[in-house]
Amino acid sequence: MRSLFITLCYASFFIVGAVAPFVFTLGYLWVDSFLPQAIAFSLINDLPVSMIAAIAAFGGYALLDRRDPPRICFMTVLLVLFAAWVTLSTFAWAVVPIAAATKWNVVVKTLVFTAFIPLVIRSRIQIEAFLQVWLFGFAINFLPLGVKALISGGSYGRELGVQSSGAGAFSLGSDARTATLALMFVPIMLFLRQHTKILPAHWLTSAMYLTIIVIAFCAAYGTYERTAVVVAAVLATLLWLKSRRKMLLGAAFVVATLVGASFVPADWMERMATIAEPGHENRLDVWRWTLDYALEHPLGGGFEVHQIDRLGPVNPDGSRSWLYAHNDFFEVLGEQGWLGLTIFVALIATSVFYLRGAARRARRFPNLAWCRDLATALQMALVVQLTGGMFVALGFQPPLYMIFALAISLREYVYRVVKASERPIASMGRPGERGLATSPQPSR
């Protein structure tokens, strides 16, 4: 029954997309975040669901929906350049070619689709629909984990979600990656709670978002990851800085922390007590190794280059295993070299610039308050993601690039609306006299 239900959900995007072509893109987003082929038991498992959804999205846009394309922007150029660079590094000099090709297959699709999304996601409803599908698609990764942790507590290294942490570089089990990305969605859920147009404005809707937020924090707790504590602290600080009721929210955080500390088990406290200890996964060693490797190989070693670092625990046969980069920036540096790292940092900086610019322009118009709030929420989500990315490699995970895509879409939406408001219109006065529109016209 689960397989049948998931298959019907997948098919629904194609049915609705025939009427509203942008839904094809939402279908790819759902596949990318929900990973139905990894959750269903049958029916959909053997289908190339991602490729089918991508073909439908590109075909739907080319044949049915090529109206008002956005401007070609600097971030789009960066994304295309990054896709070309990772392709070159994978097939020209990757030191672990088979593993590199496997990771490239996912990364290049993420980069290309990130550049494609702003062509399709243009209006307010489309932007919100993107957020809703993204949230509820990804929620399958942390809702079961959070509920189980709330009921029976969590455990370090114990799989409480629907995926296994060891199922691949892009799987999301009960680890720091899931904790980070679950908390990344908290600012987005707070935005949707206040500004949703697709779901009814009702106290039940508000309660639903608040409940999911609580479960997201429970999921972060249930992983027993030290990274989750750091990310949660950064998120709480951002929420406090943004709040207009700082005294009330600060007091609530203090009370919640004290109450939570009195209920958490001893093994969780023992795990957190090691936060200053590198442990067997010595991040400093792998970061030092990555820097030395990049100095000797400025072009990087291609995807999965860290499989040659041999810095991990000693195996029973006497050999040493390897360690992941445990950092966004060192991951990109080791795999894609200094040019790849430059492009990666430029993408982050450009997204912040776009979001801040959209928020600044939106302040002039009361009916664009939602744009200002979304820009703020996405900046907070970006900071949360990068905070977790300081301790676990998330540099090529799709959620980061979805923020980049939304930054372009939001910037272009605000640009179109503001431009429409400033377009000269025929005056009711004498011939030849022209005036300016006083308020922005809603975009499609």
| 326 and 442 co-located in one domain | yes
Residue 27 lies in a domain: yes
Q: Based on the fold, state whether residues 187 and 312 are members of the same structural domain.
A: no
**Model pLDDT, residue 225:** 87
In the predicted structure, residue 426 carries a pLDDT above the cut 50: no
pLDDT, position 5: 87
Identify the residue whose tokens are 């949703």: 196
Report d(CA 102, CA 145) in Å as an integer. 28
Say whether both 126 and 56 belong to one domain. Answer: no
What angle (nearest 5°) sits at the alpha carbon of residue 418, between those of residues 130 and 68?
A: 55
Q: Which residues contact 403 (CB under 8 A, 6 or more apart)?
A: 351, 378, 381, 382, 385
Q: What angle do CA 124, 128, 130 make, to 5 degrees?
A: 120
Cβ pair 312, 323 in contact under 8 A: yes
Residue 400's nearest CA partner among 184, 236, 229, 232 is 184
Q: How far is CA 193 from the centre of its chain?
A: 19
Q: Which residues span the domain enclosing 31?
A: 1-66
With a cut of 90, say whether residue 440 has pLDDT above it: no
Do 104 and 194 lie in one domain? The reply is: no
Whether the per-residue pLDDT at 425 is higher than 80: the answer is no
Residues 139-163 pLDDT 10s: 988 998 888 888 877 666 556 556 6
Q: What digits encode the pLDDT tens for the residues 336-377?
A: 999 999 999 999 999 999 999 999 999 989 999 999 999 999
Q: Which residue has the higher pLDDT, 9 or 321?
A: 9
Instruction: State whether 106 and 183 are in the same domain.
Output: no
Q: Is the pLDDT of residue 437 over 50?
A: no
Q: How would residue 424 be classed by pLDDT, with cut points 50, 70 and 90? A: low
pLDDT classification of 107: cutoffs 50, 70, 90 = very high
- Is 116 in the same domain as 138? no
Give the pLDDT of residue 431.
45
Question: Residue 83: which residues within 8 A CB-CB, separation 6 or more?
Answer: 108, 111, 112, 115
How high is the pLDDT of residue 112? 96
Do the Cβ atoms of 119 and 70 come closer than 8 Å? yes
Q: What is the mean pLDDT of residues 112-117?
A: 96
Q: Using pLDDT thresholds of 50, 70 and 90, give the confidence band for residue 433.
A: very low
**pLDDT at residue number 264:** 79
Q: What percent of the chain has pLDDT over 90?
A: 59
In a domain, 71, yes or no: no
pLDDT for position 172: 61
Looking up tokens 């507590």 gives 153
Q: With respect to residue 73, please indicate whether it lies within any of the assigned structural domains.
A: no
Place of tokens 């997201």: 216
pLDDT at 205: 95
Q: Between 431 and 85, where is the model more confident? A: 85
- The pLDDT of residue 260 is 76
**DSSP, residue by residue, 187-214:** HHHHHHHHH-SSS--SHHHHHHHHHHHH
Please tell me whether the overall predicted TM-score, pTM, comes out greater than 0.75 for this model: yes
Q: Do 53 and 37 meet the contact criterion of CB atoms below 8 Å apart?
A: no
Q: What is the mean pLDDT of residues 231-251?
A: 90
Average pLDDT value for residue range 282-294: 91
Residues 323, 340: one domain? yes
- The answer to which of 1-5, 158-162, 189-193, 408-412 has the lowest mean pLDDT is 158-162
Residue 322 inside a domain? The answer is yes
Residues 129 and 183 in one domain: yes
386 part of a folded domain: yes
The predicted pLDDT at position 438 comes to 42
Do residues 240 and 291 share a domain? no
Task: Determine the Cα–Cα distance for residues 143 and 136; give it in Å rounded to an integer.
Answer: 10
pLDDT surpasses 80 at 386: yes
Note whether 299 and 424 are same-domain residues. yes
Co-location of 203 and 224 in the same domain: yes
pLDDT of residue 196: 94
In a domain, 380, yes or no: yes
Indicate the number of domains in the chain.
Answer: 3
Query: Helix (H, G, I), strand (E, B), or coil: what is residue 435?
Result: strand
Residue 72, domain member (yes or no): no
In the chain, % of residues over pLDDT 70: 89
